[in-house]
Homo-oligomer: A and B are copies of this chain.
Amino acid sequence: MADKSVLEKAKKIFENFLARQGSRKTPERFSVIDELYGLPQDEHIDVEGLFLLMRNKGYTISRATIYNTLDLLVECGLAVKHQFKDKVALYEQALTYKHHDHHVCNQCRKIREFSDERINLIKEAMGEEFQSGITSHSLVLYGDCQIENCENLSLL
């Protein structure tokens, strides 16, 4: 879970972002940021998960609003959206985000993060080769992890 100052900082950024484009500061929008940043820093959650989590906590919020808000958070850099091989999109907080990539277990779907500088060398080289301003990338390694009972778990 992100410490308090991170959450506060995120809210500030969000406020500025909303103000800049003349969007409203609704309680729903801030509740989403509260809950996303209330998760462990490296947790990946999908819309349905966030919806259930929030409903269970007593919020009255709709899926549609969560979708909308997450889009906004991605837009202003406060959330990152991932699409692994599964059909649901997963989100994670992005404020204290150091770019990292992911390893996903073929069986249990457990997600682990890593960071390897060499990806940047590839991006530089290809940006040049393709005369393209590379804006982002997605790197996912799939493998069979060694976790006990891996094949019987479904951690996603």
Which residues, 107 to 133 on A, are CB-close (under 8 Å) to B? 112, 114, 116, 118-119, 121-123, 125-127, 129-133
Contact with B along A123-156 (1 / 0, CB 8 A): 1011101111111111111111110000000000
Contact B129 A143 (CB under 8 A): no
Known: A130-B103, A130-B112, A146-B131. A141 touches B121 (CB 8 A): no
Known: A83-B83, A118-B118. A134 touches B141 (CB 8 A): yes
Minimum CB–CB distance for A122 against chain B, Å: 5
Of the candidates B105, B125, B140, the one whose C-beta lies within 8 Å of that of A137 is: B140
Q: How many residues of A contact B (CB 8 A)?
A: 34
Q: Kindly state whether residue A85 has any CB partner on chain B within 8 Å.
A: yes
What is the bound-complex CA distance between A131 and B141, given in angstroms?
Answer: 13
What is the bound-complex CA distance between A137 and B123, given in angstroms?
Answer: 16
- A-side residues, CB < 8 A to B, are 83, 85, 103, 105-106, 112, 114, 116, 118-119, 121-123, 125-127, 129-146
Q: Which 5 A-B pairs have CB atoms at the shortest separation, nearest pair first?
A: A132-B143, A134-B143, A131-B146, A116-B122, A139-B139
